[in-house]
Amino acid sequence: MTAILAEFGVSAMANPIEIDDAIVLLLGAGVDQGGRARIEGVTRLEKLIFLLERETHSDQWLSEDAEFVAYNFGPFSRKVYDAVDTLAAAGIITDSARFAPDDMDTWEEREAITDKSDNGYSYTTRDFELTDRGWRYFAALDEEMKPEALKELTSFKARFAPLPLRQLVRYVYQRYDEFTTNSLIRDDILGHHS
């Protein structure tokens, strides 16, 4: 993480805004300072980053690509998973695994990320929230961002973050078919039958 240098005193403009920074910005966008800046589910977070790269002007401030590939559950980025682990280890976010009522948010984690012999993830979802330190980090990033960029990010989050996960995934699948070519759930999500 580049902007963590000198406990947020280093200008974000002097350092590139990377995927981990985009996650912090997405969490805090549209939430009052110190409020509950939360995104429920790693699949939701990943699809939001995917859409952020494609449906906003993030290319004007985001210096790195999440490198999404077509995988078993649509667009997949190892960088997003690595970024949340890094942010949690740095105390910027909490990553609270909790019991999930169904396995929708655990597709990728069970199939692509975890050791398949580990059944501990079967019905656990990961939710992400800014910590107090994370809010300070968000504020430092916010100071360096152009106001129109954060405004666009806030509008983007308001549009997509509240959607039910299945609806969000369906939107991604319908708009970005090239990322569904390897999907194991394509027909289920789109309602097609081969």
Instruction: Check whether 60 has a pLDDT greater than 50.
Output: yes
Instruction: Check whether 8 has a pLDDT greater than 70.
Output: no
DSSP per-residue letters across 83-139:
HHHHHHHTTSEEEEEEE-SSSGGGHHIIIIIS-TT-GGGTTEEEEEEE-HHHHHHHH
What is this structure's pTM? 0.81
**Span 33-51, mean pLDDT?**
92
Q: Identify the residue whose tokens are 């970024």.
A: 83
For the stretch 125-146, pLDDT in tens is 789 999 999 999 999 999 989 9
**31: its two tokens:** 């939430």
**pLDDT cut 90: percent of the chain above it:** 65
What are the extents of the domains in the chain? 5-190
Strands 124-130, 38-40: parallel, antiparallel or unpaired by DSSP? antiparallel
**Better-predicted residue by pLDDT, 192 or 141:** 141
Q: Are the CB atoms for 91 and 136 separated by under 8 Å?
A: no
Instruction: Check whether 5 has a pLDDT greater than 50.
Output: no
* Secondary structure (3-state) at 55: helix
* Secondary structure (3-state) at 163: coil
Question: What pLDDT score does 12 carry?
Answer: 42
